[in-house]
Each structure stands twice: as structure tokens, then as C-alpha cells.
Structure 1
Amino acid sequence: MTQWHATADIAANLTTALRLIAAAAADSADLVVLPENGLMLGTNTQMRAAALHEDADEVRELCRAAAAHEVAVVLGGMKNRTAAGTFNSALVIDAAGTIAGRYDKMHLFDATIGGQSFEASSVERPGAGPVVIDLDGVRIGLTICYDVRFPELFRALATAGAEVLLVPAAFVQSTGAAHWHTLLRARAIENLAYVVAPATVHSPTAEYTDAFATYGHALAVSPWGEVLVDLGEEPEAVRVLDLDLDAVTSARAALPVLAGRRAAEEYGADPRVVTTATRIPEGTR
């Protein structure tokens, strides 16, 4: 799991990513997950202009690093220019350096926070559906940042067998302080799965003005909702965790919520609204 202060300088961000991949591999990591917008974090205009293709030199560098260190890498979210339009894509690079999978962010952050407008749909298109990848027998569900506010996506991933849920993010600082830990712990508890959320973090000094300040606090949460790692506001950090998948099996056996869910059509009907009469107290008529 990684965290760093991302800027609009793609070359500098790439150097940081390569350095953290090497550090994680040296600590025997099997998978290194990079944050959303880790390669480029700027204004909508800047990010639209800087969108990369999957065969861009920067992506090739990450592929070479994965192969050189024999470690899988998930580029947690980049503006990905394709023939069908620009998407916010998480690219899965296997330990041979090949792009083995891709998830396009489904839920776009169109919101106004603290007077600042975040109109992601002006930059990118929404993805078409959930993606689960199998890495060495481990089923991993892919999401990106704002997706964390949509529990139905996470339930779909867990139902498809995901044991680890990735949430690479560039979470706005103000909403992060209010909701980040709660949302990630909730997604872990609801689905009895590990949640791993690498993150970008705001500038460590007042000398650099971010396009928008991000919260940091890259987080790993157990299937029982315990925070295993919190990288706080470190401007550059990497942490390797050993995930005991037996904990997923045990948690799901103790609380079989996935087996106990009802058929989708049972939720599809409009809820019944029951109106109760108001009784007027004696002496007030």
C-alpha cells in the first residue's frame, strides 16, 4: 500500500511511484497498489489535457518496473484516453509486466465541496461494470475513490468472490476527515473482506498549492472492521501487509451475510409507505 503527495508533474510522480514499487518489492510484496491520480493530480483542465494512453511511456515504465521486481502492480486510477473516450482506469499489471486487466471507475465525482466544484464527468466517462481479478488465487475487487460511497458495487464484488477490495483514492481533504475511515470500515464490515485503500495526500508545506487538497490516510482494514494500517499524512510512504485470507473465511462463516441476502427482485419493488393517524390529546379539540 502506498501514499504520496501527487502534483501536476507527471515525471516527478512517476519517479515516486517507481521508488515505492522498488521499496515494496524489497520488502517481499506480491502486489503494490498505487493511488488514484498518483501519476497526475491537477485541475480538470490539466488532467483532461494530460490523459494518457495505456501504451504511454509512463505506463510502460510501470510495466518494466513490475517485471524487473517480479511484483504485480495496480495503477489505482489514471485518466485513460481510449477510442471510446477518456475513462478513469485502474490498470492491473502482472508480475511479468503485462497489463492483465482494467477497471473503469463507475461513479464520477460530480459535487461541490466547500465552494469548489468537482465535475469529473467533464473529464471522463463512467465505466460499464464491476471487475474482479484473480491474482495467484486471490480474488480482488477493484474500485476507485468515490465508488466507496456506493455499497451496492462492493456487495456485487463480494458476491462474485472478492476477498480483498481495493479503493485507491485521491479523496478530498474535508470529506476525508469526515467520512473516509467510516466508509472504508463499513465496506469491510458489510462484505467481511479486507479493504486496502492507497491514497494521495495534501502538500506537506505551504509553498505548494494543490489543485485540491487530498486527505491521505492510506488505510488497510480487516474483514472484522479493524484498522490495520493508517499512513496518516506522510508525504511519501509504503507499507507491506500480510493478509491472512483465512480471516475472510472465518468472518464469513461467523456472519453469513452474503449467503443471507435476498434476491435482487425482492428489493426492486417500491417500498410500502405506511401512514399512521395522529391522535389529538383530550382537551385540545
Structure 2
Amino acid sequence: MTTSPRTLKVGLTQWHPTTDIGSNLEKAARVIERAAADGASVVVLPENGLILGTNSEMREAALSVDSTPILALREQARRIGVVIVLGGMKNRTDEGIFNSAVVIDAEGSVVARYDKLHLFDANIDGQSFEASSVEQPGDRLVVIEIDGIKVGLTICYDVRFPELFRALAAAGAEVLLVPAAFTQTTGEAHWHTLLRARAIENHAFVVAPATVHSPTTDYTDAFATYGHALVVGPWGDILADLGESAEGVQVVELDVGEVERARTKLPVLSGRRDPRVYAGEPDVIRIPIEQKEPAR
């Protein structure tokens, strides 16, 4: 007896967002339509795809899940029958503003929300990124299940914290989402390496939609983003790379059986020790080096 393959058709997306939410929403709608026409059952949108501006601009423009732009995406999901993961929106709630990955099902309902755990407070090439001045961090991990396939949610800067990804994989996640607005500088240095590492060490698919820098000189980005939306397989192979496309989409069929096969070859998840071993203080052994006169 043979079993049916477990597959998930994912729409990988990328575009150049500005501070114009209406224009950004039109781009989102176009790539969603294109992905659905190409057979995607899930479309994943980038972090900050609906607005990319300064901290004050993004804080001011924070949206609720019942705001007009999000309602438009919810209606589109219902109309064309796809799951949409709004990969990272400034989400205005009664508890404050969060950077949230919002999951909209094919009926147009908001069924899950992941609030970004790790906020991007950094200084890159003299430019300060103080995400904590805009949003507050989340405090829980989220795994969703789509057609029997478990999908772990993360956002952008989370990719630098491998313990999060290991925890999601240990909870059964076979696909890991990393919607991002990665800076140009850090993207050139680290983007491909980090995403491949998270895929390899957890033997999971990684799907990372992205924003990209301005392709023209008629608009000044608050900060340039790298693009190169990626899908990486559980053995670390790059299955899709949207490069610097100003508005791109590619549907990738994920054969989730590859995850099981990779995890059987190298059972890193079952080989983990009791978490208390990792949490303990390491033994620190100090070895002095005596400086000697060189031999003559």
C-alpha cells in the first residue's frame, strides 16, 4: 500500500513597500492573485509589506486586524480560497502595538497570530534601529497546522536566535516561516547563511518572503532592504530566490516527506539531551599560557 505524498504549495512573495499603505496593499493583492492562479494554497507576505518607514511613521500607521486594509486582505482570502500569512504587521491591540504575523484562513477569518519575540534594537553602519520604540515583544511560540502540516511562525530578526527554531521543530514544525525586512548590509552578509542554517539544523523547510530596496531613485527608503526572498529545503538546498525583484512571486511545492527523510538520516531532534543540561552553567577551565623566551 502506498501513501499519498504530503505536500504544501506555498506562494513566496517580495515587493518594495513605501509609506503609502494603499499602494502597498495593491502590490500585496497582485502577488496574492498571481500565487493563487499558480496553484498556491498558502501565500506568505513579507514583514512590513504594508508600510516601511521610520519608527514614528510605522508606529503612527499601526493597524488593527479589523482595519480597512486588513479587512481587504481577509476578503481576498475568502474570495479566492487561500490561506494568507501577513508576515509582519504593526498590530494595534488593546494591550499595545506588536509586530504580528497574522494568519487568515480561506474563509477570511483571523485564526492565529504570532507576536515577534526578538525586537531589532541594533546599530548598523551608524543607523539606529530601535524597534522597541515602536512595538513590544511577544511571549509565546506559535505553530499552526495547515492540511495536516505543521508550520512554525517567526519574523525577521528571530532568525538569529536558533533556540526558537529548535523549539518549534521539537514541537513538530516541518515548515518554518521567516517573513522579513532584512537590511541591505546584514542581508548581503548573513541572510542566505542564516536561513540555510535554520533549515539544516532542524531539517525543515524555511520559507522567507522579503521586502526589497527601491529600484529607482524617485523614492527614498527609510532603510534599504535586501530582498532575496528564499525557500530552503530541509537539506539546505535553495529552492527559490527572488533576487532583487521589485515585485515578485513564486509558487513552490513543498514535499514534506523530505523532512521526515532528512530527520531519519540525521536524527538531531531525537538526539537532544534533557533541556536542563543546556540550561546549566558550563564548567569553565582556565588554562594559563606562560610566555617563554624563544629558543636561540
Q: TM-score range by the shorter chain?
A: over 0.9
Asked if 1:130 corresponds to 2:141, the answer is yes
User: What is the letter of the counterpart of residue 17 of structure 2?
Assistant: A
In structure 1, the partner of 2:119 is: 108
In structure 1, the partner of 2:3 is: none
Which 5+ residue runs of structure 1 have no aligned equivalent?
Answer: none
User: What is the letter of the counterpart of residue 263 of structure 1?
Assistant: D
Provide the C-alpha distance between the structure 1 equivalents of 2:239 and 2:211, rounded to a whole number of angstroms.
18
Asked if 1:228 corresponds to 2:239, the answer is yes
RCO higher in structure (CA 8 A, sep ≥6): 2
Q: 2:28 aligns with which of 17, 23, 41?
A: 17
Provide the C-alpha distance between the structure 2 equivalents of 1:269 and 1:258, rounded to a whole number of angstroms.
20
Aligned residues: 284
Provide the C-alpha distance between the structure 2 equivalents of 1:93 and 1:263, rounded to a whole number of angstroms.
36
Which 5+ residue runs of structure 2 have no aligned equivalent?
Answer: 1-11
Provide the C-alpha distance between the structure 1 equivalents of 2:279 and 2:180, rounded to a whole number of angstroms.
31
Asked if 1:120 corresponds to 2:112, the answer is no
Percent of residue pairs identical: 64
Provide the C-alpha distance between the structure 2 equivalents of 1:283 and 1:48, rounded to a whole number of angstroms.
62
Which is further off, 267-276 or 80-89?
267-276
Q: 2:266 aligns with which of 255, 263, 276?
A: 255
Counterpart secondary structure, 1:185: helix
Quote the offset at 1:276 in angstroms: 2.1
Quote the offset at 1:207 in angstroms: 1.8
TM-score by length of 1: 0.98
Alpha-carbon RMSD: 1.1
In structure 1, the partner of 2:67 is: 56
Counterpart secondary structure, 1:238: strand
In structure 2, the partner of 1:206 is: 217
In structure 2, the partner of 1:46 is: 57
Counterpart secondary structure, 2:235: coil
Provide the C-alpha distance between the structure 2 equivalents of 1:81 and 1:160, rounded to a whole number of angstroms.
29
For residues 8-43 of structure 1, the C-alpha deviation after alignment (integer angstroms, 9 at most, x for no partner) is 000000011011111100011010000000001000
User: What is the letter of the counterpart of residue 208 of structure 1?
Assistant: Y
Provide the C-alpha distance between the structure 1 equivalents of 2:259 and 2:84, rounded to a whole number of angstroms.
23
Q: 1:218 aligns with which of 225, 229, 232?
A: 229
Aligned pair in 2 of structure 1 residues 280, 77: CA closer, same or farther (>3 Å)? closer
Provide the C-alpha distance between the structure 1 equivalents of 2:125 and 2:229, rounded to a whole number of angstroms.
23
TM-score by length of 2: 0.94
